[in-house]
Chain A
């Protein structure tokens, strides 16, 4: 967002730092707004003053207390989950982590389905929908990949683009199988 508002790299850097320091606070604020809960209502539920909620929402992440975050989330009918990840984790690692979580949840659902045929039928339906949604999301992301032009050579670029189109990950599944 900041890049669209300023052309000054130093200012952009400083503003981004300010925003990054409040990532969790911003999420908490957004969560409360999505739930349509006012600061006063939340304060009443937590047994504190509205001023305390306001202060919590305007501080930086480093100054937040874990207990306060847990209470805030709980008052919004949410729970706090913490992920500790290596700093060196790549985006691909992140996808792998989430995929592992998904697999665990799928296994738990299978265990649950063993107890009741009706539940099993419902879960089977859900699996079908989830599979379709996963594939759609991956194909949609692949569609957004732009083929890159090699530097310094327009002629080579044309040839390479032609090859890439034939082997594009955006091709339909049937095409990919034949490529």
Chain B
């Protein structure tokens, strides 16, 4: 049975969307519910495919607002499914403009999750290794979030923000 874990950035961005873009957030949650229902029914994450699901690097999945109605802003909820711990990590919600920054954050979070997982399994004497491409990253990035500029949710509506 899968459980949901929210990263701090997700909690912050969810609050902002709840206040400012509720329709988009509701559409995201409907699609998240579908994704979660498929997981709970026993579907493998790789087999969960639909118009609202986008595969990003490092196993990150972006769920969009698709199907939620007309005139909605392009919005993405980024998540990572850890099959070993049966946890769906909700990383952050963002729009198209913030995609690059959000994906960088996702990479850090996934690195951290995998690193924690490999530490746990190593302690337990299990021979599970993190994915090859991530090992060098883990050495450099560890857990710090300072490299990613702080999101300023209240500025999201500002015109001309790059």
Interface residues of A (CB under 8 A from B): 1-2, 4-6, 8, 11, 14-15, 18-19, 22, 25-27, 29-31, 33-34, 36, 38-39, 54, 57-59
Give B96 Cβ to nearest chain A Cβ, in Å.
Answer: 20
Please indicate the chain B residues that have their CB under 8 angstroms from the CB of A59 in the complex: 67
Given contacts A11-B22, A34-B42, A54-B50, A2 and B34 within 8 Å (CB-CB): no
> Are B34 and A30 interface neighbours, CB within 8 A?
yes
A143 and B44 alpha carbons, distance in the complex (Å): 31
Q: In B14-44, which residues have CB < 8 Å from any A CB?
A: 14, 18, 22, 25-27, 29-30, 32-34, 36-38, 40-44
Give B89 Cβ to nearest chain A Cβ, in Å.
Answer: 13
> Are A29 and B18 interface neighbours, CB within 8 A?
no
Given contacts A1-B36, A30-B38, A33-B43, A11 and B50 within 8 Å (CB-CB): no
> Are B34 and A5 interface neighbours, CB within 8 A?
no
Please indicate the chain B residues that have their CB under 8 angstroms from the CB of A26 in the complex: 33-34, 37
Given contacts A6-B18, A33-B49, A58-B51, A27 and B44 within 8 Å (CB-CB): no
Given contacts A18-B26, A26-B33, A54 and B51 within 8 Å (CB-CB): yes
A19 and B28 alpha carbons, distance in the complex (Å): 11
Closest to A31 in B: B41
18 new A-B contacts at CB < 8 Å, known A1-B4, A18-B26, A29-B37: A6-B18, A11-B22, A14-B22, A14-B26, A15-B29, A18-B29, A19-B30, A22-B33, A26-B33, A27-B37, A30-B41, A33-B47, A34-B43, A36-B47, A38-B49, A57-B50, A58-B66, A59-B67
Give A34 Cβ to nearest chain B Cβ, in Å.
Answer: 5
A14 and B18 alpha carbons, distance in the complex (Å): 11
